[in-house]
Amino acid sequence: MDKETALFMYKKMVQIRKFEEKLYQLFLTRPMPGSMHQYNGEEAVAVGVCAHLNKDDYVTSTHRGHGHCIAKGVEINGVMAEMFAKKTGCCKGMGGSMHIADFSVGMLGAIGIVGAGIPIAAGAGWTCKYRGKGQVSVAFFGDGAANEGAFHEGINLAAVWKLPVIFVCENNVYGFSTHYRRTMAIENIADRAAGYGIPGMVVDGMDVKEVYAESGKAVERARKGGGPTLLECKTYRFMGHSRFEKSAYRTKEELEEWKKRDPIKLFEEFLLKDMKLKRQELDEIGADVDREIEESVSFSERSPDPEPDDYKKYIFA
């Protein structure tokens, strides 16, 4: 990994973390519309995968989509303004946290229905294959989503049509309150790949280097016509399932254990020790991101609300 890529990924991860931290604070300190599902702790997954993607590659996302958006290159102003339900939000205040999308960078949208993005990503992969220009599509989804019928049908279709799709399962241990061991009788969701005749891989989702390396192989295989891959990234969410959810179903010790492997901390150690970067360089990136996030908040505050009947414009094309 070259320094440029490393710094690019570091910055993206910091953007996601600081974006989420800012949002949490906003929800605590003022009335914010709707709810949210936060991505803190899982940054390495979205960033490691999306670092291989071009603007014209596609991504489908989930209810926990802020990280995927930022990793895919959606402007932070647009994401923040959507959280504020403003006219300048990337979905014009129509979708909010669970439906952020920006087609100009191939972000096909966060989706509020668990699992629904999996077959949609297969469809985007079909377009990629049909066009024959080497584009790929990526579906991000959770461990919980892997038990939806849409998972089975979507991956099977992509496998049998040999579509250029990377199915990225973010196994963050819980689907809402329910531990994956209580919802599936296997340890690794990646093992299911065998049932579809595609490669499956377990990846350390807290280590962005490993996510980057393994997803790189999958993306390359897809671009070359080798068909889909199922990547299972073992990760953990540091926040509650949604907004202020308190997570009584898991222990503090478990959370603290995972926090020791905070993906940003891990990557910082690598950058400082192995890549010999200076602390100051990283701090400057952090400060830049802070400014960018603050600016996105004031951009959102300055932005107008939608008109009450704006929705009428979007029912039909």
Q: Which residues bind ligand TPP (CB under 6 A)?
A: 37, 63-64, 112-114, 142-145, 172, 174-176, 241
Site string for another protein, 121-150 (x = CB under 8 A): -----------------------xx-xxxx
Question: Cβ 66 to ligand TPP, closest distance in Å?
Answer: 11
> Cα–Cα distance between 205 and 213 in angstroms, integer?
11
> Is 86:306 a contact under the CB 8 Å cutoff?
yes
CB under 5 to 8 A by kind: which of Mg ion, ligand TPP, another protein, none does 64 bind?
ligand TPP
Q: Which is nearer to another protein, 47 or 189 (CB)?
A: 189
By CB under 8 A, residue 114 contacts another protein: yes
In the list 44, 85, 168, 230, the residue contacting another protein (rule: CB under 8 A) is 85
Q: Which is nearer to ligand TPP, 97 or 172 (CB)?
A: 172
Could you tell me which stretch among 12-20, 170-178, 197-205, 285-293 binds another protein (CB under 8 A)?
170-178
CB count within 10 Å of CB 93 equals: 23
Shorter beta-carbon distance to ligand TPP: residue 58 or 140:
140
Number of residues that bind another protein (CB under 8 A): 48
* Gap between the Cα atoms of 223 and 209, Å rounded: 21
Q: Which residues lie below 8 Å from residue 73, measured CB to CB, with a gap of 6+?
A: 50, 55, 105, 107
SS3 201: strand
Residue 102 CB contacts under 8 Å (≥ 6 apart), including other chains? 69, 72, 74, 75, 78, 90
> In the bound complex, what is the minimum distance in angstroms from residue 22's beta carbon to another protein?
19
Instruction: Give min distance, CB of 307 to another protein, in A.
Output: 8
The answer to whether residue 194 forms part of the interface with another protein (CB under 8 A) is no
C-beta atoms surrounding 121 within 10 Å: 30
Among 271, 262, 266, 303, residue whose Cα is nearest residue 21: 262
135 binds Mg ion (CB under 5 A): no
* Nearest residue (CB) to another protein, 12 versus 92: 92
Q: Encoding tokens for residue 164? A: 């250029």
Half-sphere exposure (Cβ direction) of 120: Cα atoms closer than 13 Å = 18
Which CB atom, from 143 or from 232, has the smaller least distance to Mg ion? 143
Cβ count near 205 (within 10 Å): 28
Specify the stretch interacting with another protein by CB under 8 A; choose among 15-23, 47-55, 87-95, 117-125.
Answer: 87-95
- The Cα-based distances of 140 to 8, 40, 131, 233, 297 in angstroms read 20, 15, 23, 10, 27
Tell me the sheet residues that pair with 234. Answer: 171, 204
* From Mg ion, another protein, ligand TPP, none, interface partner of 177 (C-beta below 5 to 8 A by class): another protein
With H, G, I as helix, E, B as strand and everything else as coil, classify residue 188: coil
Taking the complex as a whole, how short is the minimal distance between the CB of residue 171 and another protein, in angstroms?
13
Q: Which residues bind another protein (CB under 8 A)?
A: 33-35, 85-86, 91, 93-96, 98-99, 111-115, 144-145, 147-150, 175-178, 182-184, 240-246, 248-249, 305-312, 315
